[in-house]
Chain A
Amino acid sequence: MSRFRIDKAVEFVLGLLAIISGGLVLLVVWFLFQGAKPALDSGILLRLFTDEFWQPGSARDPQFALVPMLVASFLVTILATALAVPVGIAGAVFHRFYAPGWIAKWNYRLMELLAGIPSVVLGFWGLMVIVPIVNRFQPPGQSLLAAGLVLALMLLPIVALTSQAALQSVPGEQLQAAAGLGIGRARTVWCIAIPAARGGIGSGILLALARAIGETLVVVMVCGNIAQIPDSIFDPVRPITSTIALEMGYATASHKALLYAAGLVLVILIGLLVGWLSFRRSGDHVAVN
Chain B
Amino acid sequence: MMRYLPILLACVSLVALSGCGRESEDGQTVVLTGSSTVAPVATDAAKRYEESHPGVRIDVQSGGSSRGIADAMSGLADLGMISRALKPEESELRSHRIAMDGVCVIVNSGNPVSDLTKEQLVDIYTGKVEIWSDLGGGDGEIVVASKAEGRATLEVFLGYTGLDSADIAADVIVGENQHAIKTVAGNVNSIAYVSIGAAASEAAAGTPIKLIACDGVAATTEAVAKGTFPITRPLQVVSHGELKPEAKEFLDFLQSREIDDIIEGHLYVPVPDR
Which A residues have a C-beta under 8 Å from some C-beta of B?
A: 53, 55-63, 124, 127-128, 131-132, 135, 139-142, 220-221, 224-226, 236, 238, 245-247, 249-253, 255
Chain A residues whose C-beta falls within 8 Å of the C-beta of B151 in the assembled complex = 250
Bound complex: CA of A62 vs CA of B149, how far in Å?
Answer: 12
A140-B187, A252-B66 known; A58-B165 Cβ under 8 A: yes
Q: List 24 A-B contacts (CB under 8 A).
A: A55-B166, A56-B149, A60-B167, A127-B183, A127-B186, A128-B182, A131-B183, A132-B186, A139-B187, A140-B190, A141-B143, A142-B183, A224-B171, A225-B173, A226-B171, A226-B173, A236-B172, A245-B175, A246-B148, A249-B62, A249-B63, A249-B64, A251-B150, A255-B149
A58-B166, A127-B186 known; A249-B173 Cβ under 8 A: no
Out of B164, B167, B170, B186, name the residue touching A141 (CB < 8 Å). Answer: B186
Measured CB to CB, the nearest residue on chain B to A54 is B149
Chain A residues whose C-beta falls within 8 Å of the C-beta of B190 in the assembled complex = 140
Assess whether B166 is in contact with A61, with CB atoms less than 8 Å apart.
yes
A61-B166, A128-B182, A249-B67 known; A255-B173 Cβ under 8 A: no
Bound complex: CA of A62 vs CA of B183, how far in Å?
Answer: 27
Within the complex, what minimum Cβ distance (angstroms) separates A197 from chain B?
35
Assess whether A141 is in contact with B187, with CB atoms less than 8 Å apart.
yes
Bound complex: CA of A124 vs CA of B174, how far in Å?
Answer: 13
Out of A63, A140, A141, A250, name the residue touching B66 (CB < 8 Å). Answer: A250
Q: Mark B156-190, 1 if CB is under 8 A from A, else 0.
A: 00000000111100111111000100110011011
Chain B residues whose C-beta falls within 8 Å of the C-beta of A60 in the assembled complex = 164, 166-167
Within the complex, what minimum Cβ distance (angstroms) separates A166 from chain B?
31
Known: A53-B166, A132-B186. 13 other contacts (CB 8 A): A59-B164, A59-B165, A61-B164, A128-B182, A135-B187, A139-B143, A141-B143, A141-B186, A141-B187, A225-B174, A245-B175, A247-B150, A250-B63
Bound complex: CA of A132 vs CA of B179, how far in Å?
Answer: 14
Which B residues have a C-beta under 8 Å from some C-beta of A?
A: 62-67, 70, 140-141, 143, 148-151, 164-167, 170-175, 179, 182-183, 186-187, 189-190
Assess whether B179 is in contact with A127, with CB atoms less than 8 Å apart.
yes
Within the complex, what minimum Cβ distance (angstroms) separates B86 from chain A?
14
Measured CB to CB, the nearest residue on chain B to A245 is B175
Within the complex, what minimum Cβ distance (angstroms) separates A19 from chain B?
24
Measured CB to CB, the nearest residue on chain B to A220 is B175
Assess whether A57 is in contact with B150, with CB atoms less than 8 Å apart.
yes
Assess whether A252 is in contact with B186, with CB atoms less than 8 Å apart.
no
A60-B164, A61-B164 known; A250-B150 Cβ under 8 A: yes
Q: List the 4 closest A-B pairs by CB distance, nearest first.
A: A250-B150, A250-B64, A225-B173, A58-B166
Measured CB to CB, the nearest residue on chain B to A141 is B187
Within the complex, what minimum Cβ distance (angstroms) separates B138 from chain A?
14
Bound complex: CA of A60 vs CA of B166, how far in Å?
Answer: 7
Assess whether A142 is in contact with B172, with CB atoms less than 8 Å apart.
yes
Measured CB to CB, the nearest residue on chain A to B62 is A249
Out of B62, B150, B172, name the residue touching A226 (CB < 8 Å). Answer: B172
Chain A residues whose C-beta falls within 8 Å of the C-beta of B189 in the assembled complex = 139
Within the complex, what minimum Cβ distance (angstroms) separates B179 from chain A?
6
Bound complex: CA of A66 vs CA of B151, how far in Å?
Answer: 21
